[in-house]
Amino acid sequence: MATSMAAAIAASIPASQAGPAPVQTTYEAIPPSMSKVIDIEGEIPINTVQLDALVVSKIVKHGSESPHATGLLIGIDMDGILEISNSFPLPHINDEDEKSNKSLARYQASMLRSLKEVQADDAVMGFYQTSSLGAFFNQTLLDMQAVHQEKLRHGGIVIVHDVKQASRGNSGFHAYKLSKNFMHAYRAGKFNTQGLIDHKLTFSSIFEEIPLRIRTNPLLGAFLNTLTASDLTSTTTTLNTNTNTNDTLSSSTAAITPSYSLLDLAPSVLSQNVTHVLDALDDYKTEEGNLAYLARQIAREKARAEAHVQKRREENALRVSQGLAPLPEDDVSRLFKIPQEPSRLESTLLLGQIDAYSKGLADSASIGLVKMYAAANAGSSA
């Protein structure tokens, strides 16, 4: 009987009908002549970068697994705000390997195509890269960001995640883009002494920092607030009716045992800072030695060329005084191979690394002094 009733109920339910197949949306390409007229948002400069909490967790996880983590940032730009809603990591490859570069390009195209198929944001807004102790000045990052600023709509941004700062509980995310003066020098390929002077370039003027904010889910924020807030209601129910408010507050906070873990001086961090500063100074000294050697070579070749020209002029003056025809002027560039002045970009980047490591060392030392003072006071009060 039960079986027949179940069968009757099942028979009374109308069969679900398959919905119509979704029609694939086709987008009409905007003519190149009208692209600048229609793209109004493209004229609004980016003044803020908004990073989704999901992207933050992905970058932190990737940075904890790989020392040199790099990935693409996906999102949209609206009214001067660059909203980063997603990201995916990029495999580490050798820049000189052509096959690896082609496979990386296919991987990026496949990931972006998959995002587009599920109707997610698929516009590349830039890339992220992890660093240690704030030193992110390197040639690879400059080249990648320069390509993005040339091809992307708003130039693209790079988000630098400091792994060491994040391990201490500090915010380690910063958004940058290359300055206009650097892009002019990069296009011209002039990073010699005169080029740096003309474009007013130093290590502090290579990048421009953009304000960054992190957007979190309101439900997640409410949940975290419930974890951090003290529960006074449950405490007051266990107290007598004649207990005052001060006793209630002391009872609610007495359950939290004091912890002195925050006063740990972390000597390994200080030693790492000092080691990085010394290594960067050694690299800078080596680079300056190479530049000085090349400068001496250039000066030596120029002196030989000038001596040859001066000697030829004296010979021609003597021949003219003797009534003879002067000798033709020789092409100095063929006789003497004067090398070009080397690029000073590498030494400028090393100065940026030294500055970042030095600031990190100063911050660690100042925090250590405060912790020592707090530990001394805590010990004396105990």
Higher pLDDT, 317 or 37: 317
Task: State whether 209 and 274 are in the same domain.
Answer: no
Task: State whether 153 and 271 are in the same domain.
Answer: no
- DSSP character at residue 200: T
- Is residue 144 assigned to a domain? yes
Q: Of 111, 107, 160, which Cα lies nearest the Cα of 132?
A: 160
Task: State whether 70 and 197 are in the same domain.
Answer: yes
The CB density around residue 94, as the number of other CB atoms within 10 Å, is 9
C-alpha dist (Å) from residue 329 to 303, 308, 312, 335, 338: 17, 10, 7, 12, 18
Contacts of 194 (CB under 8 A, 6+ apart): none
pLDDT tens digits for range 157-189 = 999 988 877 776 666 788 999 999 999 999 888
Q: Following DSSP, what letter does each residue of 3-38 receive, concatenated?
A: HHHHHHHHHHSPPPPPPPPPPPP--PPPPHHHHHHH
161 phi, psi to nearest 5 deg:
-110, 115
pLDDT tens digits for range 93-105 = 766 666 777 888 8
Task: State whether 73 and 165 are in the same domain.
Answer: yes
Domain with 136, as residue range(s), is: 41-215
Do residues 254 and 327 make contact, with C-beta atoms less than 8 angstroms apart?
Answer: no
Higher pLDDT, 250 or 281: 281
C-alpha to C-alpha distance for 318 and 237, rounded to whole angstroms = 115
Q: Is the pLDDT of residue 283 over 80?
A: yes
**What pLDDT score does 266 carry?**
64
How would residue 267 be classed by pLDDT, with cut points 50, 70 and 90? low
How would residue 301 be classed by pLDDT, with cut points 50, 70 and 90? confident
The CB density around residue 355, as the number of other CB atoms within 10 Å, is 17
The enclosing domain of 127 has a CATH number of 3.40.140.10
Q: What is the pTM of this model?
A: 0.70
14 phi, psi to nearest 5 deg:
-65, 140
Q: Is the pLDDT of residue 255 over 60?
A: no
Task: State whether 200 and 338 are in the same domain.
Answer: no
**What pLDDT score does 256 carry?**
47
Task: State whether 156 and 54 are in the same domain.
Answer: yes
- For residue 85, give both structure tokens: 């809603």
Provide the domain count of the chain: 2
Q: Is the pLDDT of residue 36 over 90?
A: no
Q: Is the pLDDT of residue 196 over 80?
A: yes
Q: Which one of 200, 215, 230 terminates a domain?
A: 215
- For residue 298, give both structure tokens: 């250039």
- Is residue 236 assigned to a domain? no
How would residue 257 be classed by pLDDT, with cut points 50, 70 and 90? low
- Is residue 9 assigned to a domain? no
- Is residue 15 assigned to a domain? no
Average pLDDT over residues 232-248: 46
How would residue 156 be classed by pLDDT, with cut points 50, 70 and 90? confident
C-alpha to C-alpha distance for 370 and 376, rounded to whole angstroms = 10
Q: Give me the half-sphere count of Cα atoms (radius 13 Å) on the Cβ side of residue 29.
A: 3
C-alpha to C-alpha distance for 230 and 252, rounded to whole angstroms = 7
Residues in the chain: 382
**What pLDDT score does 287 carry?**
92
Task: State whether 297 and 155 are in the same domain.
Answer: no
**What pLDDT score does 14 carry?**
46
Query: What is the overall mean pLDDT for the chain?
Result: 77
Tell me the longest C-alpha to C-alpha distance in the chain.
137
- Is residue 122 assigned to a domain? yes
Task: State whether 82 and 172 are in the same domain.
Answer: yes
- DSSP character at residue 170: S
Q: Is the pLDDT of residue 246 over 60?
A: no
Q: Which one of 173, 196, 215 terminates a domain?
A: 215
The CB density around residue 130, as the number of other CB atoms within 10 Å, is 24
Q: Is the pLDDT of residue 235 over 80?
A: no
C-alpha to C-alpha distance for 216 and 70, rounded to whole angstroms = 23
C-alpha to C-alpha distance for 34 and 36, rounded to whole angstroms = 6
- Is residue 289 assigned to a domain? yes
- Is residue 1 assigned to a domain? no
Q: Is the pLDDT of residue 33 over 60?
A: no
Task: State whether 79 and 198 are in the same domain.
Answer: yes
- Is residue 165 assigned to a domain? yes
Placement of tokens 């972006």 in the chain? 112
Do residues 157 and 125 make contact, with C-beta atoms less than 8 angstroms apart?
Answer: yes
Q: Is the pLDDT of residue 297 over 80?
A: yes
Task: State whether 92 and 187 are in the same domain.
Answer: yes
Average pLDDT over residues 238-252: 46
Task: State whether 211 and 335 are in the same domain.
Answer: no
Task: State whether 114 and 48 are in the same domain.
Answer: yes
